[in-house]
Structure 1
Amino acid sequence: MAGMDVSLKEMMAIDGAIGAVIVDHGSGMALGALGGSKDLDLQIAAAGNTEVVKAKLRTMDSLGLKDSIEDILITLSGQYHIIRPITGRGGKGLFLYLALDRNRANLALARHQLRGIEEKLEV
Structure 2
Amino acid sequence: MSAMEDHLHEAMALPGARNAAVVECATGFVLAAVGATPRGSADETAVETAELARMAIEHAAFAGGDDPGGSAHRPGDSGVEDVIVTTRTAYHVLRFVDAAFDGGVFVHLRLDRSTGNLALARIRMRSVAERLVGA
Measure how far apart 1:59 and its partner are: 1.1
Matched, 1:85 2:90: no
Change over 3 Å in CA distance of 1:38–1:53 after alignment to 2: closer
The answer for unaligned runs of 5 or more in structure 1 is none
Q: Match for residue 122 of structure 2? A: 111
Identity, % of aligned positions? 31
Q: Distance in 2 between matches of 1:37 and 1:119?
A: 24
Q: Distance in 2 between matches of 1:39 and 1:101?
A: 14
The answer for unaligned runs of 5 or more in structure 2 is 71-76
Q: Distance in 2 between matches of 1:79 and 1:39?
A: 13
Corresponding residue pairs, total: 121
**3-state SS of paired residue (2:88):** coil
Residues 22-62 of structure 1 show CA distances to partners (whole Å, capped at 9, x for unaligned) of: 0011211111100014536322211001111111222126x
**3-state SS of paired residue (1:47):** helix
**3-state SS of paired residue (1:9):** helix
| Greater mean alpha carbon deviation, residues 30-39 or residues 47-56 | 30-39
Change over 3 Å in CA distance of 1:116–1:48 after alignment to 2: same
Q: Distance in 2 between matches of 1:3 and 1:78?
A: 30
| Greater RCO (CA < 8 Å, at least 6 residues apart) | 1
Q: Distance in 1 between matches of 2:92 and 2:37?
A: 15
Q: Distance in 1 between matches of 2:101 and 2:3?
A: 12
Q: Match for residue 28 of structure 2? A: 28
Counterpart code for 1:75: T
Matched, 1:95 2:100: no
Change over 3 Å in CA distance of 1:109–1:91 after alignment to 2: farther
Q: Match for residue 55 of structure 1? A: 55
Asked if 1 retains the 8 angstrom alpha-carbon contact of 2:91 and 2:113, the reply is yes
**3-state SS of paired residue (2:39):** coil
Residues 54-110 of structure 1 show CA distances to partners (whole Å, capped at 9, x for unaligned) of: 11222126x62474111000000010000011014x456110000000011111011
RMSD after superposition? 2.3
TM-score of the two chains, using structure 2 as the length reference: 0.79
